[in-house]
């Protein structure tokens, strides 16, 4: 389906039910257009901070002259989730000679929660993703959790690390 964003008002959440082209059913979307920077996910090969124009805008936005312009805009955090190694095997079936896991990674900062894709049947997955978060509180804690995807039930916990932003 296609959505014409120019018809939507800014700073408001819109619930859209869009019929799928070339198929049956509807896609239900919640869309909000905002001028503020949002959390993002990108591939490791596409690093926005390597773009000189983007880098200059960030340096200007967080310069000492702008320090008190927006007290809730402390800065941003970019997390690179490259890979995991030697994960626990969570999927044990009688058919498989070797047990594996279907890992995916969840990165959370306050109320923002982003996920990688699942790498199936792998104990050493590579995700190569970049997560960018706005920091509104320097006392926040970044949580990175790895789960095993199970299609017929809830995901199995494989491990977690919590990193206070003040320690970065």
pLDDT tens by residue, 95-150 = 545 568 999 999 999 888 899 999 999 999 999 998 888 888 889 999 999 999 98
Task: Tell me what the mean pLDDT of segment 77-104 comes to.
Answer: 80
Contact 129, 46 (CB under 8 A): no
SS (H, E, C) 50-75: HCHHHHHHHHHHCCHHHCCCCCCCCE
pLDDT score at 89? 87
pLDDT score at 126? 94
Q: Which residues contact 70 (CB under 8 A, 6 or more apart)?
A: none
Q: Which residues contact 17 (CB under 8 A, 6 or more apart)?
A: 26, 27, 28
Contact 91, 99 (CB under 8 A): yes
Structural domains of the chain, ranges and CATH numbers in brackets: 1-35 (no CATH), 37-47+77-164 (2.60.40.150)
For the stretch 56-67, pLDDT in tens is 766 666 666 655
Q: How far apart are CA 38 and CA 7, in angstroms?
A: 21
Contact 105, 127 (CB under 8 A): yes
Exposure of 6 by Cβ count < 10 A (0-12 exposed, 13-18 middle, 19+ buried)?
exposed
pLDDT score at 106? 94
- Rounded to the nearest 10°, the torsion over CA 102, 108, 114, 120 is -10
Dmax of the chain from CA atoms? 64
Q: CB 106: neighbour CB atoms within 10 A?
A: 16
């Amino acid at each position: 389906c296609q959505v014409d964003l120019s018809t939507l008002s800014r700073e408001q959440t819109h619930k859209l039910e869009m019929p799928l082209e070339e198929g049956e059913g509807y896609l239900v979307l919640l869309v909000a257009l905002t001028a503020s920077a949002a959390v993002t996910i990108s591939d490791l090969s596409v690093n926005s901070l390597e773009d000189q124009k983007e880098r200059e805008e960030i340096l200007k936005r967080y310069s000492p002259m702008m320090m008190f312009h927006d007290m809730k805009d402390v800065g941003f955090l970019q997390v690179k989730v490259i890979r995991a190694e030697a994960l626990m095997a969570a999927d044990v079936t009688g058919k498989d000679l070797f047990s594996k896991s279907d890992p995916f990674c969840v990165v959370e900062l306050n109320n923002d929660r982003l996920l990688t894709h699942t790498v199936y049947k792998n104990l050493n997955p590579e995700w190569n993703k970049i997560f960018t978060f706005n920091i509104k509180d320097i006392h926040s804690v970044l949580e990175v959790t790895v789960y095993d995807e199970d299609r017929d039930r809830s995901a199995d916990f494989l491990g977690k690390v919590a990193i206070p932003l003040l320690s970065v």
